[in-house]
Amino acid sequence: MTILTSANEKKNTEVTVVPLVVENEINDSKELTSVRVLKKPREMRAPLERHPWTITKIFTIALIIMSLGILGGNFLARHLSRSHIDRMRFHGFCGVPYDSGLVDNRTMMLYNSKFRSFEDEDLPLLSRAMAFFGSNNQQLSERIDDFRYDIEEEEKMAQKFFKEELELDLSDDESYARIDVPDFKNGRPGRFLHDFKYNQSGIIDAENRRCFVMPLDRDVVLPPRSMRDLVLRIWNGYYDIDTSVIRKEMRVVIPEIDDLTTVAPTITNECKNMKIFRLEKIEHNLTKRSLEDVREKFVEFTGKMSETYLHNMQELEDYLKMN
């Protein structure tokens, strides 16, 4: 027992000190059991208080990982979506004869081989034929002299065709067909847009910055998938094209359309910053038309050859000059 005394006190005061561990308990236990010592809350927060940037660092890393995941998922979704859209869209070219009676299947296949094999348009036809049939083809070798086209001969043959560029919607909706005719003999270059959802056809005269709309004629214009199958047969020379001409005589309704909600969205998108006019069919006998009646011709092939004549073009020009 320890007795503490204070020098300042007059009386000696006994102070009893209680030991932390009772002696008997120590003797009775052969082993001391471990005791969990709880730290004060202040001691637990000490590491974070000493390093406050640790939380910021962890949060920043988590934010970077989350951002990379979002960006990667967005990129993958766009890539898959674009691939799906490309598969649902057909884009290609084909050569259509002005008169199918003057062109046989062999000639049509040779002319269209540059579109089928996507080779250079300036490559001679003989080279394209060799690449298509194979240089060791005996039948081709025997008739090599019959197909020895030079540049002049190819140009002569090209005069029998006009070229079309097609973009077709192959989805379940089959909503549109876009056809470009960049150059047509005795006709105007133009773009045709057929909207099967809104049953409208549009003629885009990009050269003069104006558009024309009319009802879609499903008897003349093939649906997109049927048109794609036809182009594939043309590429292989297995299709006898019906080039009998269907003629449409139309007049331009003046003034232009104000309410564009009546026009198919695909057509209005193609005709941005252009005036859109409606076309109506002319029923009277056109043989008696006035000599002052200026008309323009737009031609396309959509399974059948279609010629659309637009009358009263001089009236349209006068109106545009005044407005």
Domain-wise residue ranges, the chain: 58-87, 104-159, 164-322
d(CA 101, CA 239): 13
Sheet containing 275-281: order of strands: 89-97, 161-169, 176-181, 190-195, 200-205, 210-215, 275-281, 245-253, 305-311, 296-301
What pLDDT score was predicted for residue 284? 65
What pLDDT score was predicted for residue 217? 94
What pLDDT score was predicted for residue 124? 46
Classify burial at 45, counting beta carbons within 10 Å of its beta carbon; exposed 0-12, middle 13-18, buried 19 or more: exposed
What pLDDT score was predicted for residue 73? 74
Classify burial at 271, counting beta carbons within 10 Å of its beta carbon; exposed 0-12, middle 13-18, buried 19 or more: buried
DSSP string, 199-249: TEEEEEETTTTEEEEEE--TTTSPPHHHHHHHHHHHHTT------PEEEEE
**HSE toward the beta carbon, residue 15, CA cutoff 13 A:** 9
**HSE toward the beta carbon, residue 155, CA cutoff 13 A:** 3
Written as six digits, the tokens of 32 are 């001391």
What pLDDT score was predicted for residue 289? 55
249 close to 311: Cβ distance less than 8 angstroms: yes
d(CA 131, CA 117): 9
204 close to 182: Cβ distance less than 8 angstroms: no
pLDDT in tens, the chain (323 residues): 444 444 444 444 454 555 554 555 445 544 445 445 555 555 555 555 556 677 777 878 888 888 888 887 776 766 555 544 445 789 999 888 887 777 777 777 778 877 764 444 444 444 455 455 554 555 555 554 455 555 566 677 777 888 899 999 998 777 899 999 887 676 678 899 999 999 999 999 988 999 999 999 999 999 999 999 988 888 877 666 776 788 999 999 999 999 999 999 999 999 999 999 999 999 765 545 555 567 888 999 998 889 999 999 999 999 999 88
Q: What does each C-alpha distance from 281 to 55, 113, 258, 299 come to in angstroms?
A: 76, 38, 20, 16
Could you tell me which residues are beta bridge partners of residue 215?
A: 200
d(CA 198, CA 20): 95
CA 58 from chain center: how many Å? 42
d(CA 188, CA 307): 11
